């Protein structure tokens, strides 16, 4: 098949060669110069560079055409998954279009679908439907309130207020009026946050693994705490809720990353994406199940496209992998984007090497420069670990302890040189 891959997630995470026979398929990667530079040198493929300043699909559509003969557009990143629909449209090839894909990005659209299926999601108000500066007649909740971009990621632009009134008072300030173009307020739901990762194949799960965050993505974005996660054995009831959410939003093929709050009375849908989870979800899942999410996802997507093109590929029955047995795995990433200083020095606790819990540990060296925007990539943060334990509670505890005891001291590079 002639495949155009929108190459946005670093190659070292996706490892496309594990799923795709680059000798059998004609693969073209399109991405920014930095992304194209991370392709393995000897890989048989075409390479197309875009500037990366305008919208992805606009830049890509300017350099590809139907005459190129592409048969599939593959996009595996939250940042351009929906834009791939515009590229398919431009090339006239089958596959999901922009309008069908937006629900995997737009947090209001997905909550509407989940609520319509009778599943609990936070009550919310779409600020895009509110006239700038106008009072909001009735807000159906009281107390803590979240303000966030509807199309956001990495908890950027997310704020917490004591009440809807305070949140709205913040939005009406002229410097915050971007939330009227891309924003929502919603009730703050108390409780631990779960993330559920896996791959769907024709509406059935191939893989499903549940984990509980240690601290929250929001605290990580603020720089106040590391973000960790620990896998756990999900009950049938949890599994049913997760699958109901995926079906409600319409995640049929490909990887998913679902977030759910264990609310005071019930599970509450937070958000879902039709792509692999970030941070170290991919390697921690592989360590625990043997399944590399992108490899499984690419296989599903290629088969789905072959079906659309009327040339089904041979494949066995779908086998579901559900994590039920130990060992259990978790991960931790320590933020550094919030430091004004250029670099940092990391100290890990003395008990760590002898704990038997470390699968992988990477700490930044004093000369490494810290990235200044929110990142969860292990090679861009002060420290990242993959940890294991005999049971769920044990791995959760080691992730929590390391999160509390790892020390990151920022320093200006000049001090060292
Ligand atoms: N309704 C809510 N109740 C409680 N906490 C919330 C709520 N909405 C968002 N948060 C907090 O803000 C974080 C970011 O929100 P959300 O997941 O909706 O957006 P995001 O930018 O896509 O996040 P990320 O990419 O960090 O997962 C959540 O992980 C959680 O910590
Ligand atoms: Mg989230």
Measured by CA distance, the residue closest to atom 8 of ligand 1 is 146
Non-local CB neighbours of 141 within 8 Å, separated by 6+ positions: 123, 164, 187
On the CB side of 219, how many CA atoms lie within 13 Å of its CA?
14
How many domains is the chain partitioned into structurally?
3
Same domain? 351 vs 256: yes
Indicate the average pLDDT of the chain: 95
Last residue of a domain, one of 103, 134, 149: 103
86: domain CATH number?
A: 3.40.50.20
Q: Which atom of ligand 1 is nearest to the CA of 217?
A: 29
Measured by CA distance, the residue closest to atom 5 of ligand 1 is 188
What mean pLDDT do residues 29-49 have?
97
Residue 151 has what DSSP assignment? T
Neighbour count for residue 13 (Cβ, 10 Å) = 19
Measured by CA distance, the residue closest to atom 9 of ligand 1 is 146
pLDDT at 417: 44
Three-state DSSP class for 30? strand
Measured by CA distance, the residue closest to atom 27 of ligand 1 is 154
Ranking 93-102, 129-138, 187-196, 337-346 by mean pLDDT, the lowest is 129-138
On the 0-12 / 13-18 / 19+ scale of CB atoms within 10 A, 238 is middle
Residues at Cβ < 5 Å from ligand 2 ion: 259
Same domain? 232 vs 279: yes
Distance 258 CA to ligand 2 centre (A): 8
Same domain? 171 vs 239: no
Q: Which atom of ligand 1 is nearest to the CA of 186?
A: 1
Please indicate, yes or no, if residue 201 is contained in any of the structural domains: yes
Please indicate, yes or no, if residue 116 is contained in any of the structural domains: no
Q: Which atom of ligand 1 is nearest to the CA of 220?
A: 26
User: Domain range spanning residue 36?
Assistant: 2-103
Residues with CB under 6 A from ligand 1: 107, 122, 146, 148, 152-155, 158, 186, 188-189, 193, 216-218, 259, 270-271
Same domain? 162 vs 46: no
Q: Give pLDDT tens digits for 118-144.
A: 999 999 999 999 999 888 888 999 999
Q: Tell me the pLDDT band of 5, cut-offs 50, 70 and 90.
A: very high
Same domain? 281 vs 177: no
Same domain? 177 vs 222: no
Please indicate, yes or no, if residue 117 is contained in any of the structural domains: no
Please indicate, yes or no, if residue 376 is contained in any of the structural domains: yes
Distance 46 CA to ligand 2 centre (A): 34
Same domain? 10 vs 85: yes
Distance 154 CA to ligand 2 centre (A): 7
Distance 415 CA to ligand 1 centre (A): 37
Distance 348 CA to ligand 2 centre (A): 28
Same domain? 39 vs 164: no
Q: Which ligand is nearest to the CA of 149?
A: 1
Q: Give pLDDT tens digits for 219-253.
A: 999 999 999 999 999 999 999 999 999 999 999 99
Q: Give pLDDT tens digits for 273-326.
A: 999 999 999 999 999 999 999 999 999 999 999 999 999 877 777 788 988 888
Is the bond leading into 327 cis (omega within 30 degrees of zero)?
A: yes
Same domain? 66 vs 207: no
Same domain? 220 vs 286: yes
Q: How far apart (Å, rounded) are the C-alpha atoms in residues 216 and 194?
A: 10
Please indicate, yes or no, if residue 112 is contained in any of the structural domains: no
377: domain CATH number?
A: 3.30.470.20
Measured by CA distance, the residue closest to atom 25 of ligand 1 is 154
Phi, psi of 176 (to 5 degrees): -110, 15
Distance 268 CA to ligand 1 centre (A): 12
Please indicate, yes or no, if residue 118 is contained in any of the structural domains: no
pLDDT at 13: 95
Please indicate, yes or no, if residue 242 is contained in any of the structural domains: yes
Q: Which residues pair with 258 in a beta bridge?
A: 196, 272
pLDDT at 415: 52
Distance 273 CA to ligand 1 centre (A): 13
Same domain? 92 vs 156: no
Same domain? 237 vs 174: no
Q: For the whole model, what pTM was predicted?
A: 0.96
Please indicate, yes or no, if residue 245 is contained in any of the structural domains: yes
Q: Which atom of ligand 1 is nearest to the CA of 273?
A: 22
Last residue of a domain, one of 187, 217, 233: 187
Measured by CA distance, the residue closest to atom 22 of ligand 1 is 153
Last residue of a domain, one of 187, 204, 226: 187
Non-local CB neighbours of 363 within 8 Å, separated by 6+ positions: 346, 348, 382, 383
Neighbour count for residue 362 (Cβ, 10 Å) = 16
Residue 15 has pLDDT above 90, yes or no: yes
């Amino acid at each position: 098949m002639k495949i155009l891959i929108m190459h946005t997630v670093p190659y070292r995470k996706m490892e496309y060669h594990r799923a795709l026979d680059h000798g059998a398929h004609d693969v073209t990667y399109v991405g920014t110069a930095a992304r194209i530079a991370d392709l393995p040198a000897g890989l048989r493929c075409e390479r197309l560079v875009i500037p990366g300043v305008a919208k992805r699909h606009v830049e890509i559509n300017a350099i590809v055409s139907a005459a190129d003969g592409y048969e599939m557009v593959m996009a595996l990143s939250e940042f351009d998954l929906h834009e791939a629909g515009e590229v398919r449209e431009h090339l006239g090839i089958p596959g999901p279009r922009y309008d069908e894909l937006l629900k995997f990005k737009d947090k209001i659209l997905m909550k509407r679908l989940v609520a319509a299926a009778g599943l609990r999601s936070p009550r919310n108000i779409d600020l895009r439907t509110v006239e700038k500066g106008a009072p909001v007649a009735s807000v159906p909740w009281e107390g803590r309130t979240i303000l966030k971009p509807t199309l956001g990621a990495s908890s950027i632009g997310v704020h917490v207020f004591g009440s809807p009134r305070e949140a709205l008072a913040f939005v009406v300030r002229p410097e915050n009026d971007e939330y009227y173009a891309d924003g929502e307020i919603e009730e703050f739901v108390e409780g631990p946050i779960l993330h559920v990762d896996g791959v769907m194949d024709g509406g059935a799960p191939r893989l499903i693994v549940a984990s509980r965050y240690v601290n929250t993505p929001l605290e990580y974005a603020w720089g106040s705490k590391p973000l960790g996660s620990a896998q756990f054995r999900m009950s049938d009831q949890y599994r049913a809720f997760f699958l109901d959410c995926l079906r409600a939003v319409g995640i049929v093929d490909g990887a998913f990353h679902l977030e759910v709050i264990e609310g005071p009375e019930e599970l509450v849908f937070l958000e879902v994406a039709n792509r692999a989870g970030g941070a170290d979800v991919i390697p921690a899942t592989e360590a625990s199940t043997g399944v590399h999410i992108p490899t499984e996802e690419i296989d599903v997507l290629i088969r789905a496209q072959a079906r659309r093109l009327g040339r089904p590929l041979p494949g066995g029955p779908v086998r579901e992998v559900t994590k039920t047995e130990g060992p259990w795995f978790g991960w931790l990433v320590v933020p550094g984007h919030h430091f004004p200083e250029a670099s940092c020095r990391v100290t890990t606790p003395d008990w760590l090497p002898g704990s038997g819990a470390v699968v992988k540990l990477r700490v930044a060296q004093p000369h490494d420069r810290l990235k200044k925007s929110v990142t969860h990539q292990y090679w861009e943060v002060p420290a990242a670990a993959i940890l294991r334990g005999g049971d769920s509670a044990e791995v959760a505890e080691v992730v929590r302890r390391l999160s509390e005891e790892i020390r990151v001291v920022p320093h200006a590079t000049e001090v060292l040189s």
